[in-house]
Amino acid sequence: MNRESFLYVVVFTFLVAFVFVFVIALADGATAERVARNRELVTAQAFLNAVGRPEDDGATALQTFERLFGAVEGDSVIRARVDDQDVLVKQFRGDGLWGTITGVLAVDSGVTRIVGLDIISHSETPGLGGRIEEDWFKDQFRNERISAEGITVRKGEGTTDDDPDNGTVDGVTGASLTSAAMQVIINHEIDGLRKEAGQ
């Protein structure tokens, strides 16, 4: 058969595309459950990190998550009691520099202090904006006072902001836009949580 004929080209291209896409669909289907479980686990661990109860072990993390927060529906605000403290926890999503940043924010019941913050996913520049997922950045939020304007992410000086009472954290050096985006996202969530808390 003539390899350059119109019919051959169409049939060949169709068959090749069909076979390869079929194998991909099989592989995707076979791993779908695992991928969903991984995503659930990452979310559960983010909730636990945000309220300061980190669990490394997957099974224990899911159990503790269930016990503390029950069934979590999307982005709704969850009221939970952790270590004798009432907290409001919310999964958030917002625009970073390159893509969506998702994470979990926990505040006390009066929305006066942040309990903690964790990042679930982002697509910021690795090594620059991507450093928002590093512990030194997230730890600055722990127990930070929320001022009237919310939280300020200031231009950092290469160190971290250790003062929990000034409502300010240091941004990431070399990633001003990601730092500014974090400020907008967190303050937006704080506004929402204040409404929820009835203030």
Where on the chain is the footprint of another protein (CB under 8 A)?
Answer: 3-4, 8-9, 12-13, 16-17, 20, 23-24, 27-28, 31, 34-35, 38-39, 42, 121, 123, 126-128, 173-174
Angle of helix 6-50 relative to helix 58-69, nearest 10 degrees?
Answer: 60
Rounded to a whole number of angstroms, the minimum distance from the CB of residue 168 to another protein is 22
Write down the least CB distance from residue 126 to another protein, Å: 6
Q: Which residue lies nearer to another protein by CB, 22 or 163?
A: 22
Nearer to another protein, 4 or 73 (CB): 4
- Closer residue to another protein in complex, CB, 43/87: 43
CB nearer to another protein: pick between 85 and 123: 123
Residue 199: exposure state from Cβ atoms within 10 A (0-12, 13-18, ≥19): exposed
Could you tell me which residues come within 8 angstroms of residue 114 by beta carbon, excluding any fewer than 6 positions away?
Answer: 105, 106, 107, 141, 142, 143, 144, 146, 151
Provide, rounded to whole angstroms, the least separation between the CB of residue 24 and another protein: 5
- Output 60 or 123, the one with its CB closest to another protein: 123
In the complex, least distance from residue 131 CB atom to another protein, rounded to whole angstroms? 9
Task: Give me the residues paired with residue 182 across strands.
Answer: none
Phi and psi based region of residue 156 (left: phi greater than 0; alpha: psi -120 to 50; beta: remaining): beta
CB of 21 to another protein, least distance (A): 8
